[in-house]
Structure 1
Amino acid sequence: MSNNQNFKQQLASKELVIGTFQKTPSAMVSEVLGLTDLGVVCLDAEHSPFDRLTIDQCIFALRAADKPSLVRVPSAQPEHLLNALDCGATGVVVPHVTSAEMAREVVAASHFGAGGRGYAGSTRAAGYTTKAMPHHKRDSAAQTVVFAQIEDIEAVDEIDAIAAVEGIDCLFIGRIDLTVAYGAASPKDDVVIDAVERICAAGAKYGRPVGMFVGDLSEIPRWRECGASVFLLSSDHNFMLGGAAALQEKVEAG
């Protein structure tokens, strides 16, 4: 079984998954990240200038490396979900999911069925017509993952209802957005930490994996204890900046 096929099972079993965000809309960057041991790469089409063609090209490069790929879509609009999944992404990260109703709509738009994702057999995900419809529908149901990004006060208030929605494969915590939403000075302020703990508790209660970004890697053991199992950390931009700084420091140190 390929890594792409196995990713949904990894999530469900709450195995530790370490991935990163790709901010640069470049298939070459995806190809390089595909050579790493990271468990998943998330294309950040919400905050970086990925268009439909670059999403397609980057997913192609990641699939060639058998690297699971997520697309953090610009919004929950069905066309964004459809495009990412038709291009062959393993799943989608949907920002600003604030209610159970919205979570159900996102799940429906990410899967085939009445009122759900539009079907086409000519896509990469369908093997460019080489996959029969029953096989494509079966594989999509078995492999497609949906991350609901929890980053609003309303979402925290409704977190039990959101976590109870079948088809949500991960509650992904947008801690920086929560910091802004609560008017906190730091993502380590008590009000933010309390919100993160509430989300983790809801994940545990309803059996939903929990994911997050953390800037301080020393926090990971704490959040692992709270049940978080998916960590999308750093980014290709940070890798370049960190590598350049390390090179400069090493050379200057002689």
Structure 2
Amino acid sequence: MTSLKQRLAARETLVGTFVKTPSPIIVEVLSLTELDCLCLDAEHAPFDRAAIDGCVMAARASGKDVLVRIASADPAQILGALDCGATGVVIPHVRSADEARAAVRASQYGHGGRGYAGSSRAAGYTTRSITDHLAWSAARTVVIAQIEDPEAIDAIDAIAKVEGIDALFVGRVDLTVAYGATSQDDPRVVAAIEAVCAAGLRHGRPVGMFLARVADVPLWTAKGASLFLLGSDHGFLLGGAGGLIAAAKT
């Protein structure tokens, strides 16, 4: 099967969603859909290592690719998510090429990089040889740099050049707050997102983003974006309940 890493590199349009509830059952249910991937939001939702482990297990059991947006770029956070068997990690607040390189190094095996354990889920609980697992991990592990600070926009070309970064992911809400704007459609915010898309095209780096309006997907696809993490399990619950009440009371 074509891996998520390969699909990203091919600029295939990919649609996933955020998971905010640390429940393997929620992940199991969403894995029954045709979403291309799920992203556990361990940055803004109460995911500890055990919750990440259970949710990743549920996704893998259903054959669904699962990313983890970790709480910080701490190598221990990266190691934990990847050892649990996540397809990849979304690294928040990458502001420079040095930070991007550090994230890549912490996500890969080798000198100064991710520590090796053959007993992890990722390594098949000792059933995969070191040689095989090193090759498998290098070919499939996805590293996504989240761009959500003005400093990152200023350094976007340098960040986009970093080998090992599989995609740039726009943090639109954080950019809105950082620029002192009150709307995600503020011209400064839109210009920043366009700068990320342009840098991705210049340097062959896929670009992803969250959009509050699904109708905006064609607009940003035309500008070079191809990964869209839209909505969340919380949003589905609220939307479904709202729709049910509206239908029942009409």
* 1:59-112 deviations in Å (ceiling 9; x for gaps): 000000100000000000000000000000000000000000000000000000
Identity %: 60
Residue of 232, 235, 238 corresponding to 2:232: 235
Residue of 63, 72, 80 corresponding to 1:83: 80
- Is 2:38 the partner of 1:41? yes
Q: How many angstroms does 1:6 deviate by? A: 1.2
- Is 2:102 the partner of 1:105? yes
Residue of 123, 140, 143 corresponding to 1:143: 140
Residue 200 of structure 1 corresponds to 197
Q: How many angstroms does 1:205 deviate by? A: 0.3
Query: Aligned with 2:3: secondary structure?
Result: helix
Distance 1:11 1:159 in 2: 19
Residue 222 of structure 2 corresponds to 225
Query: Aligned with 2:229: secondary structure?
Result: strand
* 1:127-184 deviations in Å (ceiling 9; x for gaps): 0000000000000000000000000000000000000000000100000000000001
TM-score, L = length of structure 2: 0.99
Distance 1:63 1:180 in 2: 35
Unaligned runs of 5+ in 2: none
What is the number of residues matched between the two proteins? Answer: 250
Residue 13 of structure 2 corresponds to 16
Query: Aligned with 1:139: secondary structure?
Result: helix
Distance 1:196 1:51 in 2: 31
TM-score, L = length of structure 1: 0.98
Residue 209 of structure 1 corresponds to 206
Q: How many angstroms does 1:217 deviate by? A: 1.4
Q: How many angstroms does 1:224 deviate by? A: 0.3
Unaligned runs of 5+ in 1: none
Q: How many angstroms does 1:185 deviate by? A: 1.3
Distance 1:112 1:216 in 2: 38
Distance 2:70 2:53 in 1: 13
* 1:185-241 deviations in Å (ceiling 9; x for gaps): 101010000000000000000000000000011211110000000000000000000
Residue 93 of structure 2 corresponds to 96
Distance 2:106 2:173 in 1: 27
Query: Aligned with 1:231: secondary structure?
Result: strand
- Is 2:150 the partner of 1:153? yes
Whichever residue aligns with residue 84 of structure 2, its letter is C
- Is 2:22 the partner of 1:25? yes
Aligned residues: CA RMSD: 0.6
Residue 176 of structure 2 corresponds to 179
Query: Aligned with 2:114: secondary structure?
Result: coil
Distance 1:32 1:98 in 2: 35
- Is 2:56 the partner of 1:59? yes
